[in-house]
Amino acid sequence: MDSRDSLSSDAARDSSSLSEDAAVLSVTSALAKTALSYFQSGKFEECFDILIQLDQKKHNDPKVLHNMAIAEYFKDGCSNSEKLLQGLNRVKKQSEELASAARDQLEAANPGTNASVPKDHFDSTVTTLNIAVTWFHLHDYSKSFSILEPLFQNIQRLDETIALQICFLLLDIALACRDAVNFLAVFDYMEKAFGVGFGSHEENGSTMQLSSNQVSKTSSLLSSSVASDTLKSELTAAESSLCEETLDYDNVLAEFEAEKRMKPVGHIPANNLLKTLSERTFSNADLKLELQLYKVRFLLLTRNLKMAKREVKHAMNIAQKRDSSMALLLKSQLEYAHGNHPKAIKLLVVSGIHKEAGTSGIFKNNLGCIYYQLGNYQASSVLFLKALRSCSSLRRNEKPVKPFSLSQDKSLLIIYNCGLVYLALGKPLLAAQCFQKASVVFWRQPLIWLRLAECCMMALRKGLLEERTTSLDRSEIRVSVVGKGNRRQLMIEENGYVELAGNTQLSKLSLPLARVCLSNGIYLLNESLSNDSKSDLGSTFSVGMNETKEASSSDHEEANTNSDLKEAKGGMSQDIIQNSLSAFKDMCSKEKQLMQQALFANMAYVELELENPVKALSAATSLLQLPDCSKIYVFLGHIYAAEALCLLNRPIEAGAHLSAYLVGQDDFRLPYAQEDFDQWWKHTSSDCEETLDPSTGNARESVFLKPEEARGALFADLAALLATQGHHDQAKPLITHALTLLPNNVQATVTAVYIDLMLGRSQDALARLKQCTRVSFVPGRLEVRAS
């Protein structure tokens, strides 16, 4: 009620109540100042007490309540985000109600006039921003985005500092969601509104270049004396672990020196070019660097490595005046993306982020990524674990909370990496745990569901899904000797039957879970394919932004001629940006297609494993219907469909699937070539200069059938099909061929034995069994038990 009174008095400010108001105002504003200073010095208890006093004076003032919620959150050690969100949402709702009430009141006071509510009074921008910030830290990016979206639509009306904060938050959200479209919308606006961006650096660039050369010259003089011993040793250590690559090492050193020199920022003379824009509160040089770094991140996101290289150089030039660790980190990421891992490691070390507690986890994570790409999964997993540990220690040790510090908890992202490396190491149970934890953040992405399903399938292969059955027996043939003497018989047994029921060992991973995961993945992917025009965040900034883009293309502060010139330049680099954006979109849709193929193939496989041929057939058919399907998946689609059809007693159709690869009467062509495989394996990483190094190459080979083996599978499967139809004579040469291509294959051997027996050649069958190394002749069970 008080606030409403103050509003009406505000509306009739010329009346006599002004002086009285002013008295109250001076007291409260003094209190507000005290509260702020307590807040800034991290004394949240005291701050909160002052706010309680304020609340008593200005009852239900939304802004006081807002700051109370913030202060309380910090007072409690940043632990209760839920309470904070509740508080902030309540404040937001309240100020919106008050605002609309005030509007009504004004409307009533002077009808007809289009009343506009005075600024600041019930403005909930700050509250909204804080809600979005909280969701951001809770990793709910799409929620955070949707909260910020209306603010961004009206961003011109907002104070510059808060507008900047909103924009930066939006940029980080877009990066986290890999949403290049929205990133660009925000970035474009920032470039226009804050005067630094894609177009403007060209003319600045040249002078910057010049000055940087001077810097590097001087710094090279200093290099021997300045470098601290520890860092130097780190550098050499990093270097020794790399291969002998000829890279411009001097350059790296110079950068490194520059970084050292830049630590005291103050005494660098301000650049004249920057001065013209410097009425702003946010230091323009900072802003310029910040935006340049974001530009590099955009280019890295869209995998435009060439441009990124150019822009990161520019960022380094700007950064020499200040902190260049971020620029170095991006440079490291660029080299990582290039597949130039030694250099990436070097730059990562040089960036120095491992020295600070807050970022050492990030350092270890990124190093882990590099080691993963080098095929050294063991080291990679150790690094990810260490990264997790430093994150969690950060959470625990940072007490008292330094003012303005929400925990920068990246552990959920690192956990995802952990999952990938565990999968690569063949540890599906650990990997699944990681993915399940990380799904809090990534549940919208189809890929994580595919990975979880892969965990289930790997666990199945490794026999981790069964009750107690020894995994060794899983794919072997057993020949049991039963009886003795003239009654001695051999029992050929394939370990085909696995009982799934009642496995208590791990209730989480199972084939039905795999099925659920895959259908989640397919659903999400279909959704994102159907609104491919839209962004992953669910919506894009409306066309309104484009209008303002045009309207604001020239700034009134500049002369017309100048603006023309600028526009031309901006347009040119705008082209590049748009190109890399559309290239990125193409890349994404290609990746989605590949993922779709993988999802359907896995689904067909899982359904077959679950003895559900109808669903398996439909998944396989969907797979085969996909446009531009990779040959590998076409092969799998045919094989799965044929098997499902057999299980459905439709052998003719099954045969049709296999005969797609038939050459003549009884020969198969290779269903895919090694190049197809390599291409698929590298999938769209064609921009990457990396040639598959031997270590990862090995891992790859064990991943899937070689083309010849795939051909063997076709022989074996056709033989099996023919055998069931009684064409044993026809099947015989096929299965013999299959066994030459796939010696020791259990299924093929069983089929061969079957055919031999059907042809009445039991001696041949036994000879076959003896040849196969995967047969174990076991003594009768009773004897074993008895001994």
Span near another protein by CB under 8 A; candidates 113-121, 221-229, 251-259, 307-315: 113-121
CA distance 655 to 645: 9
Which of 192/216 has CB closer to another protein?
192
153 binds another protein (CB under 8 A): yes
- For residues 774 and 476, the answer to whether their CB atoms sit within 8 Å is yes
Both tokens of 144, joined, read 């955070």
169 binds another protein (CB under 8 A): yes
Residues 254-281, buried b or exposed e (16+ Cβ, 10 A)?
bbbbbbbbbeeeeeeeebeebeebeeee
CA distance 464 to 457: 10
Which of 215/336 has CB closer to another protein?
336
683 binds another protein (CB under 8 A): yes
Choice from 492, 576, 626, 670 touching another protein (CB under 8 A):
492
Choice from 94, 134, 317, 580 touching another protein (CB under 8 A):
134
CA distance 764 to 109: 105
Q: Write out the binding residues for another protein, residues 209-268 only, by CB under 8 A.
A: none
385 binds another protein (CB under 8 A): no
Q: How far is the CB of 218 from another protein (least distance, A)?
A: 29
Q: Residue 480: helix, strand or coil by DSSP?
A: strand
Within 13 Å, how many C-alpha atoms sit on residue 638's CB side? 22
768 binds another protein (CB under 8 A): no
Counting every residue, how long is the chain?
787
206 binds another protein (CB under 8 A): no
Identity of residue 227: A
425 binds another protein (CB under 8 A): no
Q: Write out the binding residues for another protein, residues 18-57 only, by CB under 8 A.
A: 25, 28-29, 31-32, 35-36, 39-40, 54
CA distance 266 to 438: 42
Q: Smallest Cα–Cα separation from 781: which of 478, 472, 463, 467?
A: 478
Q: Write out the binding residues for another protein, residues 277-296 only, by CB under 8 A.
A: 290
108 binds another protein (CB under 8 A): no
Helices and strands of the chain, counted as H and E runs: 35, 5
- For residues 607 and 455, the answer to whether their CB atoms sit within 8 Å is no
Choice from 252, 329, 388, 739 touching another protein (CB under 8 A):
329
Which of 212/365 has CB closer to another protein?
365
374 binds another protein (CB under 8 A): no
Beta strand 477-482 with 775-778: parallel, antiparallel or unpaired?
parallel
Chain center to CA of 770: 51
Which of 253/619 has CB closer to another protein?
619
Choice from 235, 307, 634, 742 touching another protein (CB under 8 A):
742
Both tokens of 578, joined, read 């748009």
Identity of residue 585: K
Q: How far is the CB of 570 from another protein (least distance, A)?
A: 14
Chain center to CA of 335: 19
CA distance 330 to 327: 5
602 binds another protein (CB under 8 A): yes
Q: Which residues contact 541 (CB under 8 A, 6 or more apart)?
A: 149, 152, 153, 182, 185, 186
φ, ψ of residue 426 to 5 degrees: the values are 75, 35
Choice from 212, 292, 317, 366 touching another protein (CB under 8 A):
366
Which of 211/621 has CB closer to another protein?
621
123 binds another protein (CB under 8 A): yes
524 binds another protein (CB under 8 A): no
774 binds another protein (CB under 8 A): no
Span near another protein by CB under 8 A; candidates 7-15, 210-218, 245-253, 305-313: 7-15
Q: Given phi > 0 = left and psi -120 to 50 = alpha, else beta, which region is 372?
A: alpha
Percent helix, strand and coil across the chain, each to the nearest 5: 70, 5, 25
φ, ψ of residue 662 to 5 degrees: the values are -75, 135
Span near another protein by CB under 8 A; candidates 225-233, 237-245, 408-416, 508-516: 408-416
- For residues 622 and 599, the answer to whether their CB atoms sit within 8 Å is no
- For residue 492, the surrounding DSSP H or E stretch is strand 489-494
Identity of residue 237: A
Q: How far is the CB of 74 from another protein (least distance, A)?
A: 8
Q: How far is the CB of 137 from another protein (least distance, A)?
A: 7
483 binds another protein (CB under 8 A): yes
Both tokens of 13, joined, read 């400010």
Choice from 328, 349, 514, 723 touching another protein (CB under 8 A):
723
Q: Given phi > 0 = left and psi -120 to 50 = alpha, else beta, which region is 280?
A: beta
Span near another protein by CB under 8 A; candidates 196-204, 267-275, 522-530, 774-782: 774-782
* Tokens 């979206």 found at: 149
383 binds another protein (CB under 8 A): no
Span near another protein by CB under 8 A; candidates 200-208, 232-240, 257-265, 633-641: 633-641
CA distance 56 to 35: 14
Q: How far is the CB of 221 from another protein (least distance, A)?
A: 32
Which of 512/760 has CB closer to another protein?
760
Give the per-residue contact string, 443-462, with another protein (x = CB under 8 A; - = no): ----x--xx--x--xx--x-
Q: According to DSSP H, which parts of 537-663 are helical?
A: 544-551, 560-609, 613-625, 631-647, 651-658
Q: Which residues contact 392 (CB under 8 A, 6 or more apart)?
A: 411
- Beta carbons within 10 angstroms of residue 127's beta carbon: 26
Q: Write out the binding residues for another protein, residues 694-713 only, by CB under 8 A.
A: 703-705, 710, 712-713
Span near another protein by CB under 8 A; candidates 150-158, 226-234, 575-583, 661-669: 150-158
Span near another protein by CB under 8 A; candidates 69-77, 204-212, 234-242, 393-401: 69-77
605 binds another protein (CB under 8 A): yes
Q: Count residues binding another protein (CB under 8 A).
A: 182
Choice from 101, 168, 202, 759 touching another protein (CB under 8 A):
168
Chain center to CA of 367: 16
Q: How far is the CB of 201 from another protein (least distance, A)?
A: 20
Q: Is omega for the bond preceding 400 within 30 degrees of 0, making it cis?
A: yes
303 binds another protein (CB under 8 A): yes
Span near another protein by CB under 8 A; candidates 202-210, 226-234, 266-274, 357-365: 357-365
Choice from 186, 315, 513, 746 touching another protein (CB under 8 A):
746
Q: Smallest Cα–Cα separation from 78: which of 138, 167, 127, 126?
A: 138
Q: Write out the binding residues for another protein, residues 540-559 only, by CB under 8 A.
A: 544, 547-548, 551-554, 556
652 binds another protein (CB under 8 A): no
Choice from 138, 262, 394, 420 touching another protein (CB under 8 A):
420
185 binds another protein (CB under 8 A): no
Choice from 92, 288, 295, 297 touching another protein (CB under 8 A):
297
